[in-house]
């Protein structure tokens, strides 16, 4: 079997209005770094990831001010209006034969352990997969007025996480050939709509996406716990 190569794509072109900050949420301070620095560092330091491509908004004035912006593994591209556009812009700058791990810039608690799970899966099966965490709470579906319509069976339900790993050329084709790109919410959904089976691997449930102000408090707690575990 040929040795696989791996590249990471960090999607950082969003503005994150729900956090309520005056700057994009990925640049908010978290412990001693910004959110995006926490999200990037595990990929930049991983020995099996050769390159990291960050997809930025066209008017981003913050990334170049970060100390890691000049890292030898790193390059940036201009993203698009929607997440899928930003992902595709990055994919077009990657070796199509490689595997790509697409990760949200607003997920600062990703661990090497979970990255290793995806890479091991690709090396063992020569196929992609995504991280997920099992749904533990009772799930409700509502009407448009927020009244409960029904209780949803949580059996076999997962929260989709990132990174999501696929062969670059296959993912590019799945996105480009999709007739309803507005329905692509993550890389797995593009693959699903292309009729390609996707495996889900259980990852850490503390791999949260910072969306609201209270998420910053949780992220800080989780990162402190990660540091204690390393020590």
- Structural element, H or E, at residue 43: helix 35-45
C-alpha distance across the termini of the chain, in Å? 37
Alpha-carbon gap, residue 160 to 74, rounded angstroms: 26
Mean of all residue pLDDT scores within the chain: 93
C-beta neighbour count of 58 within 10 angstroms: 8
Kindly tell me if the per-residue pLDDT of 28 is higher than 90: yes
Are 176 and 151 within 8 A, CB to CB? Answer: no
Question: What's the rounded Cα separation, in Å, for the pair 121 and 125?
Answer: 6
DSSP one-letter code for 31: T
Name the band, by pLDDT with cuts 50, 70 and 90, for residue 144: very high
Q: Say whether pTM exceeds 0.85.
A: yes
Average pLDDT over residues 130-143: 94
pLDDT band at 22 (very low <50, low <70, confident <90, very high): confident
pLDDT score recorded for residue 178: 96
Q: Of all helices (H) and strands (E), which one includes residue 209?
A: none
Give the number of other CB atoms < 10 A from CB of residue 224: 11
Range with the poorest average pLDDT among 8-22, 92-106, 132-146, 204-218? 8-22
At 203, is the pLDDT very low, low, confident or very high (cuts 50, 70, 90)?
very high
Q: Tokens for 10?
A: 């960090």
Domain 6-230, CATH class in plain words? alpha beta
What average pLDDT does this structure show over 54-64?
95
Residue 72, class by beta-carbon neighbours within 10 Å (0-12 exposed, 13-18 middle, 19+ buried)?
exposed
Q: Is pLDDT of 171 > 90? A: yes
- Four-residue CA torsion sign, 124, 128, 130, 134: negative
pLDDT at residue 226 greater than cutoff 80: yes
Q: How far apart are CA 103 and CA 45, in angstroms?
A: 15
Mean pLDDT (whole number) for 12-26:
74
Q: Is pLDDT of 156 > 90?
A: no
Instruction: Note the pLDDT tens digit of each residue in 61-114.
Output: 999 999 999 999 999 999 999 999 999 999 999 999 999 999 999 999 999 999
Shortest CA distance to 56 belongs to which of 35, 34, 30, 75?
Answer: 75
pLDDT at 2 (0 to 100): 67
Who's near 20: CB < 8 A, 6+ residues apart?
A: 213
Residue 69 sits at φ, ψ, to 5 deg, of: -65, -20
Q: Residue 56 pairs with which residues in a beta bridge?
A: 12, 78
Contact (Cβ atoms closer than 8 angstroms) between residue 25 and residue 38: no
Residues 6 or more apart whose Cβ sits within 8 Å of residue 157? 134, 135, 139
Longest dimension (CA), the chain: 54
Residue 209 confidence (pLDDT) above 90: yes
Instruction: Quote the pLDDT of residue 19.
Output: 54
């Amino acid at each position: 079997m040929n040795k696989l190569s791996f590249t990471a794509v960090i999607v950082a072109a969003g503005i994150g209005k729900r956090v309520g900050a005056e700057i994009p949420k990925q640049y908010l301070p978290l412990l001693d770094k910004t959110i995006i620095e926490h999200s990037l560092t595990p990929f930049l330091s991983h020995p099996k990831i050769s390159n990291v491509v960050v997809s930025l908004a066209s008017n981003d004035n913050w990334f170049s001010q970060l100390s890691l912006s000049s890292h030898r593994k790193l390059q940036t591209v201009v993203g698009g209006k929607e997440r899928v556009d930003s992902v595709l812009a990055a994919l077009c700058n990657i070796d199509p034969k490689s595997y790509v791990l697409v990760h949200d810039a607003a997920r600062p608690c990703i661990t090497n352990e979970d990255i290793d799970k995806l890479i091991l899966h690709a090396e063992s099966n020569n196929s992609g997969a995504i991280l997920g965490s099992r749904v533990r709470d009772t799930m409700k579906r509502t009407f448009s007025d927020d009244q409960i319509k029904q209780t949803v069976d949580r059996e076999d339900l997962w929260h989709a996480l990132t990174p999501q790993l696929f062969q670059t050329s296959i993912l590019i084709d799945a996105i480009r050939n999709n007739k309803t790109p507005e329905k692509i919410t993550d890389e797995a959904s593009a693959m699903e709509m292309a009729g390609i089976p996707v495996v889900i691997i259980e990852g850490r449930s503390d791999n949260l996406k910072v969306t609201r102000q209270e998420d910053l408090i949780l992220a800080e707690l989780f990162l402190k716990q990660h540091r204690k575990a390393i020590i």
